[in-house]
Structure 1
Amino acid sequence: MSNDKQVVNFSIAINDNYKPKGSTEVKEIVTYINCSYWLSAKVVEWLKKGALVELFGRIGLNVYSNSEGKAFGSLTFHTNNIKILVFAKKAEQTENRAAHPAVQGTTLETADDLPF
């Protein structure tokens, strides 16, 4: 039995909307969050655009300065449990067949060495 682990990197879109005070127009907001999952690369076949997922894990923050010294940051989500609540429609799966989430290299990490 191999202890090789593969990381599945994917992004989720969080769709939200609100109505500004005094307006009748609804504003749509989409927030994208980069996620990583280390427990099984088999989940990649179910992570398709249009799937509704529930994720459990922890939020990470990457902070860095650019060459001019300006601070930047990004949120990441280190997932340790994924529940598929609604599977993507077949048409979307066929259309996005080439757009699989990235499965990156193999590492020799045991469950105790996971980054979260």
Structure 2
Amino acid sequence: MRKDRKNTHLKCCIMEISGRITKDAVTAKVSNDREVVNFSIAINDSYRPKGAEELKKIVTYIDCSYWMGSKMAQWLKKGTVVELFGRIGLNVYNNAEGKALGSLTFHTSNIKILVFPKTENSSSLPAVQKKNTDQDTPDDLPF
């Protein structure tokens, strides 16, 4: 159980982060007229330690919240690669044993979907209409 929870918000400008959603987004009702979409992303990175031949892989998990509209949750499925714009916050608290812990939260103001996940059942994602551009493209391009 979390005790003595303190929200510490870093003062900064708008940031941009990209990652893959770790599980389907969940919408939570905060009050009668307010909802928040909560989800988590994983950011993969790697580096080569000095003197080492192998890359060391690291994954950073960031909890995200989106307050601009609950309808966005239908698009935020596990495996989707997203680019997020917003500000980062730090939640610092003491657990039941008195140990200080913290977690990152990204307060998202804008979401850009970069890649939808590959699924066997494509009907799990909302339908997206594609524009037929076959008639607009000439047959003999100069390149």
1:16 is the counterpart of 2:45: yes
Question: More helix per residue: 1 or 2?
Answer: 1
User: Could you report, residue by residue, the CA deviation over 1:48-100 in whole angstroms, capped at 9, with x for unpaired residues?
Assistant: 22221111111111111223432111110111110101222233867xx6xxx
2:118 pairs with 62, 65, 89, which one?
89
CA RMSD between the two structures: 2.1
Scaled by the length of structure 2, the TM-score of the pair is: 0.57
> Any gaps of 5 or more consecutive residues in structure 2?
1-31, 125-143
Rg (Cα) greater in structure? 2
Q: Which amino acid aligns with 2:36?
A: V
- Deviant stretches of 4+, over 6 Å: none
> Any gaps of 5 or more consecutive residues in structure 1?
98-116
Change (3 A) 1:91 1:39: same
Change (3 A) 1:50 1:40: same
1:76 counterpart residue number: 105
Report the 3-state secondary structure (helix = DSSP H, G, I; strand = E; otherwise coil) of the residue aligned with 1:91. coil
Aligned runs of 1:17-96 on 2, under 5 Å?
A: 17-91=46-120
8 Å CA contact 1:50, 1:92 repeated in 2:
no
Report the 3-state secondary structure (helix = DSSP H, G, I; strand = E; otherwise coil) of the residue aligned with 2:36. strand
Higher relative contact order (CA 8 A, sep 6+): 1
- What is the CA distance between 1:22 and its match in structure 2? 1.2
1:111 counterpart residue number: none
Q: How many residues align?
A: 93
